[in-house]
């Protein structure tokens, strides 16, 4: 497959020199899932800003949470004969046919943030993403320590079928399964959104009430929604009920400073520089690793007031 992409690269290089300043601007299509969370907005901003910085003509498409719209966007990028495509896929399944179309058109696809299930990994150039299984594991290990190895947890899951929801659940549950006195008493999809996180948490509270001792949310937005539900029920989030989530967006630091969120595992959305480095490399015919893992930190309430000063999103 490298040779096909190299062919496309060569074509791009052959026309280089025709434009102003001797360099032809790259045209890149970016298919984004939507704007369901603060994380997603930060990722979009990072990619847009990096494109502007490098003089890339970015064709941006927001699918508003609809995979079919993402597939249509990819087909439109192919029809426009873009130089490369950046795709943040909503779910893991269902991409093979359209990725084949891109491959036939010799347009390399760089995946950012989430992975896909395909039978042939030559269908994409590389995936730039965090280790979601490890994020779930780290959240669980923190809870094991704080709860002394026993207690009842509820889990707010991300979008069903998405890589982060699948992997964060897997990593978390593998750790908890080794602790017979720790139980996940409820687990449900909150679609990575604040309002849904709140709704699902309200239902958990109606069903389990004071039995709930900890909340694990697959992202900060759902945790913030859950905190609103816990507050409304007089359940003291951050104190009587431990709350941990993933992303480390600004809202999470504000919630930690307010004493309502206990900890957050970072998932870095600033993928623009790496994404365009990958695009440029693949168009030059350079080999790329199949996955590039983004490094993430971990933040707790105690240092949040200091940490927030240097946060970029
Ligand atoms: O795929 C990354 C996840 O998607 C983020 O954790 C979440 O906030 C977003 O919507």
Q: How confident is the model at residue 16 (pLDDT cuts 50, 70, 90)?
A: very low
Ligand 1, pocket-test mutation among 35, 38, 40, most atoms within 8 A of CB: 40
What whole-number distance in Å separates Cα of residue 233 and Cα of residue 217?
A: 18
Say if 286 falls within a structural domain: yes
Give the ligand 1 atom nearest the CA of 164: 1
Determine the 3-state secondary structure of 272 from DSSP.
helix
User: Rounded to an integer, what distance in angstroms lies between the CA atom of residue 313 and that of residue 99?
Assistant: 31
Ligand 1 atom with the smallest distance to the CA of 163 is 1
State which of 230, 249, 267 marks the end of a domain: 267
276: in domain: yes
Q: 223 pLDDT exceeds 90?
A: yes
DSSP 90: S
Per DSSP, 56 falls in state -
Please check whether residues 161 and 205 belong to one and the same domain: yes
Q: Ligand 1: which atom is nearest the Cα of residue 162?
A: 1
- Closest by Cα among 147, 99, 125, 113 to 243: 147
Task: Identify which of 137, 136, 213 has the alpha carbon closest to the alpha carbon of residue 182.
Answer: 213
Residue at 70 is within a domain: yes
The yes-or-no verdict on residue 221 having pLDDT over 80 is yes
Site to probe by mutation for ligand 1, drawn from 164, 171, 223 as the one with most ligand atoms within 8 Å of Cβ, is 164
Give the model's confidence band at 6: pLDDT under 50 very low, under 70 low, under 90 confident, else very high: very low
The encoded tokens of residue 140 equal 């669980």
Q: With a cut of 90, say whether residue 226 has pLDDT above it.
A: yes
What is the distance in A from the centroid of ligand 1 to the CA of 160?
12
* Whether residue 274 sits in one domain with residue 198: no
Domains contained in the chain, number: 2
Mean pLDDT for 96-107 is 98
CATH code for position 221: 3.40.50.2300
**200 lies in the same domain as 113:** no
Dump pLDDT digits (tens) for 112-148: 999 999 999 999 999 999 999 999 999 999 999 999 9
Q: Where are the beta strands (DSSP E) in 26-160?
A: 27-32, 57-62, 84-87, 109-112, 126-130, 151-157
For residues 99 and 137, state if they share a domain: no
What are the structure tokens assigned to 17, written together? 């020199």
Q: For the chain, what percent of residues have pLDDT higher than 70? A: 93
The predicted structure's pLDDT at residue 15: 39
Ligand 1 centre to CA of 178 (Å) is: 27
Residues 190 and 145 in one domain: yes
In a shared domain, residues 29 and 11: yes
Share the mean pLDDT of the chain. 94
| Position 55 confidence tier, pLDDT thresholds 50, 70, 90 | very high
What average pLDDT score do residues 16-27 get? 63
**Considering Cα of 183, then 188, then 190, then 192, what sign does the dihedral take?**
positive
Residues 237 and 275 in one domain: no
Which residue among 267, 283, 307 closes a domain? Answer: 267
148 CA distance to ligand 1 middle (Å): 29
Task: Identify whether 306 is part of a domain.
Answer: no
Provide the whole-model pTM.
0.93
Place 11 in a pLDDT band, splitting at 50, 70 and 90.
very low
- Say yes or no: 106 and 141 in one domain: no
CA 203 to CA 191: how far, in whole Å?
15
Beta strands in 133-181 (DSSP E): 151-157
Cβ atoms 159, 189 nearer than 8 A? yes
Domain hosting 222: range is 132-267
pLDDT in tens, 243-265: 999 999 999 999 999 999 999 99
CA distance 303 to 18: 53
Same domain, 180 and 62: no
Phi-psi region of 117 (alpha: psi -120 to 50; beta: other; left: phi over 0): beta
Query: Quick one: pLDDT band at residue 21, thresholds 50, 70, 90?
Result: low
Closest CA to 49 of 62, 37, 58: 58
How large is the average pLDDT for residues 91-103?
A: 98
pLDDT in tens, 166-185: 999 999 999 999 999 999 99
Rg (CA), the chain: 21
What is the enclosing helix (H) or strand (E) of 287?
Answer: none
Query: What is the CA(260)–ligand 1 centre distance, in A?
Result: 21
Determine phi and psi for 152, rounding to 5 degrees. Answer: -105, 130
Q: Identify whether 257 is part of a domain.
A: yes
Choose among 141, 140, 111: nearest CA to 128.
111
Ligand 1 pocket test, candidate residues 39, 70, 131, 216, most atoms within 8 A of CB = 39
pLDDT-derived band of residue 24, with 50, 70 and 90 as boundaries?
Answer: confident
The best mutation among 31, 32, 37 to test binding of ligand 1, ranked by most ligand atoms within 8 Å of the C-beta, falls on 37
Residues 101, 66 share a domain = yes
Please state the length of the chain.
Answer: 313
Which residues line ligand 1 at a C-beta cut-off of 6 Å? 36-37, 39-40, 113-114, 164, 192, 219, 221, 246-247, 267
241 within some domain: yes
For residues 206-219, give the mean pLDDT. Answer: 98
Q: Which residue shows structure tokens 């507050």?
A: 231
Distance 284 CA to ligand 1 centre (A): 31
Examine residue 214 and state whether it is found in any structural domain, yes or no: yes
Chain centroid to CA 168: 11
- Looking at the fold, whether 280 and 211 belong to one and the same domain comes out as no
> What per-residue confidence (pLDDT) applies to 35?
97
Same domain for 66 and 10: yes
- For residue 310, being part of any structural domain is answered with no
The position carrying tokens 């970015």 is 58
| Strand stretches in the chain, DSSP E | 27-32, 57-62, 84-87, 109-112, 126-130, 151-157, 182-189, 214-217, 242-247, 263-266, 291-294, 298-300
Nearest to 172 by CA among 200, 153, 151: 153
């Amino acid at each position: 497959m490298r040779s096909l992409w190299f062919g496309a690269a060569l074509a791009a290089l052959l026309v280089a020199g025709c434009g102003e300043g001797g360099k032809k601007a790259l045209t890149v299509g970016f298919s984004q899932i939507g704007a369901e969370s603060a994380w997603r907005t930060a990722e979009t901003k990072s990619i847009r800003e990096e494109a502007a910085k490098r003089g890339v003509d970015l064709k941006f498409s927001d699918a508003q949470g609809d995979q079919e719209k993402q597939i249509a966007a990819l087909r439109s990028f192919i029809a426009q004969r873009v130089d490369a495509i950046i795709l943040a896929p909503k779910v893991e399944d269902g991409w093979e046919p359209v990725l084949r179309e891109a491959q036939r058109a010799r347009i390399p696809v760089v995946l950012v943030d989430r992975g896909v299930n395909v039978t042939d990994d030559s269908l994409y150039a590389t995936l730039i993403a965090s280790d979601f299984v490890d994020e779930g594991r780290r959240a669980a290990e923190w809870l094991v320590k704080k709860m002394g190895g026993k207690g009842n947890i509820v889990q707010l899951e991300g979008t069903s079928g998405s890589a982060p929801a699948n992997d964060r659940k897997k990593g978390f549950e593998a750790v908890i399964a080794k602790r017979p006195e720790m139980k996940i008493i409820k687990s449900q999809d909150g679609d990575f959104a604040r309002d849904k996180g709140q709704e699902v948490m309200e239902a958990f509270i109606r069903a389990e009430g004071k039995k709930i001792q900890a909340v694990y949310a697959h992202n900060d937005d759902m945790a913030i929604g859950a905190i609103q539900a816990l507050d409304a029920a007089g359940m003291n989030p951050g104190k009587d009920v431990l709350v941990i989530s993933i992303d480390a967006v600004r809202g999470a630091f504000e919630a930690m400073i307010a004493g309502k969120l206990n900890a957050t595992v970072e998932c870095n959305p600033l993928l623009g520089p790496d994404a365009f480095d990958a695009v440029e490399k693949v168009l030059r015919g350079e080999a790329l690793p199949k996955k590039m893992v983004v490094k993430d930190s971990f933040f707790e309430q105690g240092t949040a007031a200091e940490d927030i000063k240097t946060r970029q999103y």
